[in-house]
Chains A and B, each alone.
Chain A
């Protein structure tokens, strides 16, 4: 097997584009949320400033090895997710390091960051962090179920585990997209999407008004900055998966930007309309509404 070394700088280029896009996108979504509340909202470059400031803080303290590794795991979860799925279909430059079984790897990476975070936050020793982690893990696990079901349904439908092949099967007009050929699977996945985006109504884990801010309570300066970097990359990477699996992928960067933006906007709209769920409510909600849809999707396929 030959490996094309040129793929690595190309993948890093993707990472760079996605990082900037993610920073601007989250700021834009926050601005939209602020406008819904009739505020001006943050400046569009605020995320860059925050990031720079946090890297520039002069002191930081540690609580142990896992405390260091928590943000690192989290960031590698986001970066790994991005690197192993093709971001632009049909482009040699931006298909990244995708390979035949990358769908399974992607599913794993979605969970990986959360687990790393759990270990790191647990080591920080703050009771709020521990409560936040237990809430976060239970909610993410519940939200992951419908996604896994939907992914299996899609994999069965196209008889492949390669994201590239799934995108290829959806080309040729939007009626070929999974959202029209297998609407049940997409419905289940979109409900799970709401749960994993950490926006209202499922943001009790990170909500500052609840247990103050949850898992990252003890994280500060560069640790926090690493996590902020991840917070820019990870949602975009996740939305790339969704776009590839359900919405026909993207053949160029503009299409990519628009599709990811619309996906993010979907969760933001739900977020400004609905109030926050408690964890046990949200788990029940996922199990009652999203999981049956996912099972039905598999049965129909």
Chain B
């Protein structure tokens, strides 16, 4: 075990996130604490599925056939996702769509290397998605760092920070590999084993500790909706 206190070196909070007194347009003064006030930071809860098995199976089938990907390209792998929209691969016929907002997406494809700076945004985006949600790690960089294994600024093991359902290996994986990965994810969802959101809620402290160990300027609440 490593010593937590020596490794978690905190960076001072940015000015705009400090608690301060603001004067409103009507002359009223009030205190603003951005980290408290601007976010809803209720803890995530474990959400069980439907009690009736056949209903849950139906829902899982619907979830697997309607994968909405969050359009967030974190690394060079994003370039391999674009061909999926083109006539050659046409992922739409498998019920895969891209959504521009995390609120509407179910599937987060971490496409390639993830720098610490992007990890912070990826965590926020992931937490804003609605459960059940899935994470696919794309490319070797998400598995063991890939060619960035000695880089000072990219994480090496994605499942330390987010619950990953499927890894797609390769540097970069071709669009065909992506389609195969999505089909695998569909099988997992249909089998009812893709409960990443619940895992995240169960092991919340562990994930948060890992995330805070690499993100030195943690200036957001622990969970933001």
A209-249 at interface with B (beta carbon < 8 Å): 209, 212-213, 216-221, 224
Which of B74-82, B92-100, B118-126 is found at the contact surface with chain A?
B92-100
Instruction: Give the contacting residue for A213; candidates B101, B106, B197; CB below 8 A.
Output: B101
With A49-B65, A213-B101 given, is the CB distance from A42 to B130 under 8 Å? no
Judged by a CB distance under 8 angstroms, whether B43 is at the interface is: no
Do B66 and A218 have beta carbons less than 8 Å apart?
A: no
Nearest B-chain residue to A48, judged by Cβ: B62
Nearest B-chain residue to A217, judged by Cβ: B101
Do B66 and A39 have beta carbons less than 8 Å apart?
A: no
Q: For A46, A60, A216, which residue has the most chain B Cβ atoms within 10 angstroms?
A: A46
Cα distance, A56 to B90, chains bound together (Å): 26
Judged by a CB distance under 8 angstroms, whether B157 is at the interface is: no
Do A56 and B104 have beta carbons less than 8 Å apart?
A: no
The smallest beta-carbon distance between B177 and chain A, in angstroms, is 20
Across-interface contacts of B101 in A (CB, < 8 A): 212-213, 217-218
Do A42 and B93 have beta carbons less than 8 Å apart?
A: yes
Nearest A-chain residue to B63, judged by Cβ: A53
Cα distance, A41 to B92, chains bound together (Å): 6
Across-interface contacts of A60 in B (CB, < 8 A): 130
Judged by a CB distance under 8 angstroms, whether B25 is at the interface is: no
Instruction: Give the contacting residue for A217; candidates B92, B98, B103, B197; CB below 8 A.
Output: B103
Judged by a CB distance under 8 angstroms, whether B211 is at the interface is: no
Cα distance, A40 to B94, chains bound together (Å): 10
Judged by a CB distance under 8 angstroms, whether A57 is at the interface is: yes
Size of A's binding interface in residues, CB under 8 A: 30
Do A221 and B87 have beta carbons less than 8 Å apart?
A: no
Judged by a CB distance under 8 angstroms, whether B132 is at the interface is: yes
Do A58 and B92 have beta carbons less than 8 Å apart?
A: no
Instruction: Give the contacting residue for A219; candidates B47, B92, B104; CB below 8 A.
Output: B104
Nearest B-chain residue to A213, judged by Cβ: B100
With A49-B65, A224-B104 given, is the CB distance from A56 to B59 under 8 Å? yes
Instruction: Give the contacting residue for A57; candidates B86, B87, B98, B130; CB below 8 A.
Output: B130
Do A208 and B99 have beta carbons less than 8 Å apart?
A: yes
Judged by a CB distance under 8 angstroms, whether B131 is at the interface is: yes
The smallest beta-carbon distance between A269 and chain B, in angstroms, is 19
Size of B's binding interface in residues, CB under 8 A: 28
Hey, what's the 0/1 contact readout for A14-42 against B, CB within 8 Å counting as 1? 00000000000000000000100111111
Do A49 and B59 have beta carbons less than 8 Å apart?
A: no
With A40-B90, A212-B100, A220-B104 given, is the CB distance from A57 to B131 under 8 Å? yes
Cα distance, A41 to B91, chains bound together (Å): 8
Hey, what's the 0/1 contact readout for A54-67 against B, CB within 8 Å counting as 1? 00111111000000
Do B59 and A59 have beta carbons less than 8 Å apart?
A: no
Across-interface contacts of B49 in A (CB, < 8 A): 58
Judged by a CB distance under 8 angstroms, whether A280 is at the interface is: no
Judged by a CB distance under 8 angstroms, whether A101 is at the interface is: no
Nearest B-chain residue to A210, judged by Cβ: B100
Cα distance, A40 to B87, chains bound together (Å): 8
With A40-B90, A208-B98 given, is the CB distance from A58 to B131 under 8 Å? yes
Cα distance, A41 to B71, chains bound together (Å): 19
Across-interface contacts of A213 in B (CB, < 8 A): 99-101, 104
The 5 closest A-B pairs by CB, nearest first: A212-B100, A56-B59, A220-B103, A52-B62, A58-B47
For the complex with contacts A61-B40, A220-B104, 14 further pairs of A-B residues with Cβ separation under 8 Å are A38-B87, A40-B90, A41-B90, A43-B95, A50-B66, A52-B66, A56-B63, A57-B106, A212-B100, A213-B104, A218-B103, A219-B104, A220-B103, A224-B104
- 21 contacts across the A-B interface (CB closer than 8 A): A34-B90, A34-B92, A39-B86, A42-B92, A42-B93, A46-B65, A49-B62, A52-B58, A56-B62, A57-B132, A58-B131, A59-B47, A59-B130, A61-B40, A208-B71, A208-B98, A209-B100, A212-B100, A220-B103, A220-B104, A221-B130
Binding site for B on A (CB under 8 A): 34, 37-43, 46, 49-50, 52-53, 56-61, 208-209, 212-213, 216-221, 224
Binding site for A on B (CB under 8 A): 40, 47, 49, 58-59, 62-63, 65-66, 71, 86-87, 90, 92-93, 95, 98-101, 103-104, 106, 130-132, 197, 225
